Amino acid sequence: MPSLAILSLALTTQASASCTRALLKSATSAYITAQTSGQPNLLPHISNLSYIENDVHVPITQGLLSQPLTIDLHHSLHDTTTCTTFTELSCATNPHPYVIHTRLFVADDRVTSIQSVISDAGDWLFNATGHLYWSSTETWTPIPEPLRDTRAIIQAAGDLYLDSWGNGSLKAPYGTPCHRIEGGAYTDTRRTGNNTCFMPEFPQPFKITKRDYVIDEVVGGLGIFNDFPFIDMMRPDGTTSTNLFRIEEGRIRYIHEVTICQTRNCGR
């Protein structure tokens, strides 16, 4: 199996295998190819790769990465500080529709771990057609360098949003416009261009303690793998969830939430 560095032309001029954006881009591009064809070996990885779906370890040969999927839309974040990536796959026209958020861990030119949150029918407000339709309207182009936020500011914006769910006196830094795609439901269907992201305090206080971040300063991207307490009647202490953000000048522009439910629509 070739290493990512060999797949990444931009790296051939570099002496050592540091974690560059080019290396991470070759990883997300190989991931898309592997998932499209259902062949995990097209993604250069260590032999004892850790493969996790919805917080459960699965043999990769039995995982979704071993099944070909029609991918209608994807975009990726590349975090050169932690050497991880975040990819969103919108698979609305696949015979079995999915929306997937995946984190890759890269070390020494190979993927060492794959963590996917895989949503389908019955998960929170799931609608892959809606997800595809509304995410197609978004712009994820690089933010001009002088306007880029630091990692700390990008992470703080997402953290404050999650914190505000359990404590309404905390004000999340919503921008205008701001929209959220929650499962496949969209907050600005009337296309007002206003801030439609506001999340009121939940009927019961809770704190989201488990959070893992992928941060891409170039596109103002933040992916959080978080536990979501309260929402799932069957798992009140927390179910698997992810939130993908675009942050512009410290303010939230887009939110995509994926939440896995044990029973249909989390029993709500």
Ligand X SMILES: *[C@@H]1O[C@H](CO)[C@@H](O)[C@H](O)[C@H]1NC(C)=O
Query: Which residues would be at the binding site for ligand X (CB under 6 A)?
Result: 46, 48, 50, 112-113, 127, 129-130, 133, 167, 169-170, 184, 192, 194, 205
Q: Which is nearer to ligand X, 205 or 236 (CB)?
A: 205
85: closest CA among 1, 154, 19, 10? 19
Residue nearest to ligand X (CB): 130
Nearest to ligand X of 160, 218 (CB atom): 160
Q: How far apart are CA 141 and CA 45, in angstroms?
A: 29
Of the pair 10, 46, the CB lying nearest ligand X is at 46
Least Å distance, CB 30 to ligand X, is 18
Q: How far is the CB of 250 from ligand X (least distance, A)?
A: 18
Integer Cα distance of 17 and 86 in angstroms: 20
- Cβ–Cβ under 8 Å, residues 175 and 213: no
Rank residues 137 and 167 by Cβ distance to ligand X and give the closer one. Answer: 167
E strands, the chain, in order: 45-53, 56-57, 73-79, 84-91, 98-107, 110-119, 174-182, 185-186, 211-216, 221-228, 239-248, 251-259
Q: Which is nearer to ligand X, 141 or 169 (CB)?
A: 169
**Strand duo 251-259 + 174-182: pairing:** parallel
User: Would you state the structure tokens that stand for residue 134, as one six-digit string?
Assistant: 């509304």
CB 183, min distance to ligand X, A: 10
- Closer to ligand X by CB, 130 or 229: give it: 130
Q: Is 28 exposed, middle or buried (0-12, 13-18, 19+ CB in 10 A)?
A: buried
Closer by beta carbon to ligand X, 110 or else 235:
110
CB of 71 to ligand X, least distance (A): 18
CA angle 257, 259, 264 (to 5 degrees): 135
**3 state SS of 6:** helix
- In the complex, the smallest distance separating the C-beta of residue 12 from ligand X, rounded to whole angstroms, is 26
- Tokens representing 144? 């001009």
- CB 148, min distance to ligand X, A: 27
Can you tell me the distance from the alpha carbon of 217 to that of 247, in angstroms, rounded to the nearest whole number? 9
* Least distance to ligand X, CB of residue 169, Å: 5
